[in-house]
């Protein structure tokens, strides 16, 4: 029996659900972990996460398909990315197979919170890991906690699929040879001040450029970017400091193998953006959110697709990917994990 919730009015906000999975790393090994009712975390005042930002997280979703099944979308990809993130932050990686099993356990334990098909809402899962052992010197923690909680959510952007406005930021999101390619909380902390400024000026997000030359598109504070050129081809910015988005990589596969589009993954300069017909932000939370306008220091780059709806190519990508996630379109092998 589903919870009695007005699913259609949900925002992208936290709601406590029934169960979460918790495991700890002590004495050189992860324990088996367990489901818990307790949403609170008690840690030492000297915990490594508080002083040296040893923290990483993931984001994925569970859905109710058209035929009533409960499924998750490509959790193995999140397991792989979190594994690589942990290595970069000198944290003990959580085993990838156990990650997927923990995802299944959390969704199954909270199945009443999975929004019904057609509601526009989904169950968002947030795996996270942090150093909880006391550390005063600059070094990795000895004790870690891995946790997965979930919460039902509506659209990430309040306007839903309505095109958003972006601005080119004067700040940098990530350093060259830094941590832009992993999903660490510290990358998002870097973007908070800039995004508050953008919101005050009426923009949904910032576009970050490459720090060395400030001429190439990287990503926004919370999503990868994609473009459609004048020939209807998909153009995807490429950089060593862009997060390898699961959604972006899925979009590339869908574009090539479902829609027959040519995909060009390469460095993209800000100077060529005015030549593109469509633009979108992609990530787990929003899937694809269309972009209607980018403000480059007072110069407005307006996309032909406009400010009222998605452009035709991005609409096809969105419809196909969400169709796969919701069970309306047959998925590539291994993409859909049934609970």
The pLDDT tens digits of the residues spanning 235-272 come to 999 999 999 999 999 999 999 999 999 999 999 999 99
The radius of gyration of the chain from alpha carbons, rounded to an integer in Å, stands at 20
Which pairing describes strands 20-26 and 34-36: parallel, antiparallel, or unpaired?
A: antiparallel
Overall average pLDDT of the 211-217 stretch: 96
pLDDT exceeds 70 at position 68: yes
| 96 is annotated as an active-site residue | no
Q: Tell me the three state secondary structure of residue 75.
A: helix
Q: Is the pLDDT of residue 156 over 80?
A: no
pLDDT value of position 115: 96
Q: Which of helix, strand or coil describes residue 195?
A: helix
Q: E strands of 4-142, at which residues?
A: 20-26, 29-30, 34-36, 55-57, 60-64, 70-73, 122-131
CATH class of 164-325: alpha beta
CB 35 within 8 A of CB 110: no
**Averaged pLDDT, 86-99:** 98
* Average pLDDT for 54-78: 96
d(CA 111, CA 227): 36
Dihedral angle of Cα 53, 209, 194, 54, to the nearest 10 degrees: -10
Residues 6+ apart with CB under 8 A from 117: 63, 64, 65, 66, 68, 326
pLDDT over 80 (residue 112): yes
Write down the pTM of the prediction: 0.94
pLDDT(43) > 60:
yes
Q: How far apart are CA 200 and CA 189, in angstroms?
A: 18
What pLDDT shows up at residue 57? 98
Q: Return phi, psi of residue 30, to 5°.
A: -80, 140
Q: How confident is the model at residue 160 (pLDDT cuts 50, 70, 90)?
A: low
* Stronger pLDDT, 157 or 31, i.e. the higher one: 31
pLDDT of amino acid 124:
97
For the chain, which residues make up each domain, given as ranges?
Answer: 7-153, 164-325
pLDDT tens, position by position, 281-301: 999 887 999 999 999 999 999
Say which residue, 31 or 156, is predicted with more confidence. 31
* C-beta separation of 149 from 20 below 8 A: yes
SS (H, E, C) 8-41: HHCCCCCCCCCCEEEEEEECCEECCCEEECCCCC
Q: Indicate the pLDDT class of residue 126, thresholds 50, 70 and 90.
A: very high
Residue partners of 217: CB distance under 8 A and separation at least 6: 207, 209, 225, 237, 268, 269, 270, 273
Torsion, CA 194, CA 200, CA 205, CA 207, rounded to 10: -60
pLDDT for res 303: 97
- In the predicted structure, residue 206 carries a pLDDT above the cut 80: yes
Residue 161 has pLDDT above 90, yes or no: no
Q: How confident is the model at residue 277 (pLDDT cuts 50, 70, 90)?
A: very high
The mean pLDDT of 185-190, rounded to a whole number, is 93
When pLDDT is cut at 50, 70 and 90, the band that residue 157 belongs to is low
Range name among 21-35, 69-83, 172-186 with the lowest pLDDT average: 172-186
User: Given this model, what pLDDT does residue 155 score?
Assistant: 72
Burial class (CB in 10 A: 0-12, 13-18, 19+), 220: buried
Q: Which of 183, 216, 262, 299 is catalytic?
A: 183
Give kind and range of the element (H or E) at residue 202: none
The secondary structure of residue 217, as a DSSP letter, is: B
Q: How far is CA 15 from CA 73, 125, 205, in A?
A: 21, 12, 24
Question: Can you give the pLDDT at residue 159?
Answer: 54
Going by their DSSP bridges, the two strands 20-26 and 29-30 should be labelled as antiparallel
Question: What is the third-level CATH fold of 7-153?
Answer: D-amino Acid Aminotransferase; Chain A, domain 1 (3.30.470)
Q: What is the mean pLDDT of residues 203-216?
A: 96
């Amino acid at each position: 029996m589903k919870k009695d919730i007005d699913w259609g009015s949900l925002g992208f906000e936290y709601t406590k659900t029934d169960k979460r999975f918790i495991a700890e790393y002590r004495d050189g090994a992860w324990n088996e972990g367990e489901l818990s009712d307790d949403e609170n975390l008690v840690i030492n005042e000297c915990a490594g996460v508080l002083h040296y930002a040893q923290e990483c997280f993931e984001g994925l979703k569970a859905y109710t398909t058209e035929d009533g099944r409960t499924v998750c979308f490509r959790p193995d990809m999140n397991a792989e990315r979190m594994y690589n993130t942990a290595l970069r932050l000198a944290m003990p990686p959580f085993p990838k197979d156990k990650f997927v099993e923990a995802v299944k356990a959390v969704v199954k334990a909270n199945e009443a919170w999975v929004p019904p098909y057609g509601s526009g809402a989904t169950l968002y899962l947030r795996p996270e890991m942090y150093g909880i052992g006391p550390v005063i010197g600059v070094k990795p923690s000895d004790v870690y906690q891995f946790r997965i909680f979930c919460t039902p959510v509506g659209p990430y952007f309040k306007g839903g699929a309505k095109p958003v406005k972006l601005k080119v930021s004067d700040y940098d999101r990530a350093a060259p040879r830094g941590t832009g390619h992993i999903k660490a909380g510290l990358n998002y902390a870097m973007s908070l001040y800039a995004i508050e400024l953008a919101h005050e000026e009426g923009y949904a997000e910032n576009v970050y450029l490459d720090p060395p030359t400030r001429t190439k598109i990287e990503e926004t504070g919370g999503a990868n970017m994609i473009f459609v050129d004048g020939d209807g081809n998909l153009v995807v910015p490429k950089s060593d400091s862009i997060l390898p988005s699961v959604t972006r990589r899925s979009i590339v596969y869908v574009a090539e193998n479902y829609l027959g589009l040519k995909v060009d993954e390469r460095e993209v300069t800000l100077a060529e953006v005015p030549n593109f017909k469509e633009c979108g932000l992609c990530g787990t939370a929003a899937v694809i959110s269309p972009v209607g306008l980018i403000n480059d220091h007072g110069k407005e780059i307006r996309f032909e697709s406009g400010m009222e709806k998605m452009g035709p190519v991005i609409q096809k990508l969105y419809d196909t990917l969400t169709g796969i996630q919701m069970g309306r379109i047959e998925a590539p092998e291994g993409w859909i994990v049934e609970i």
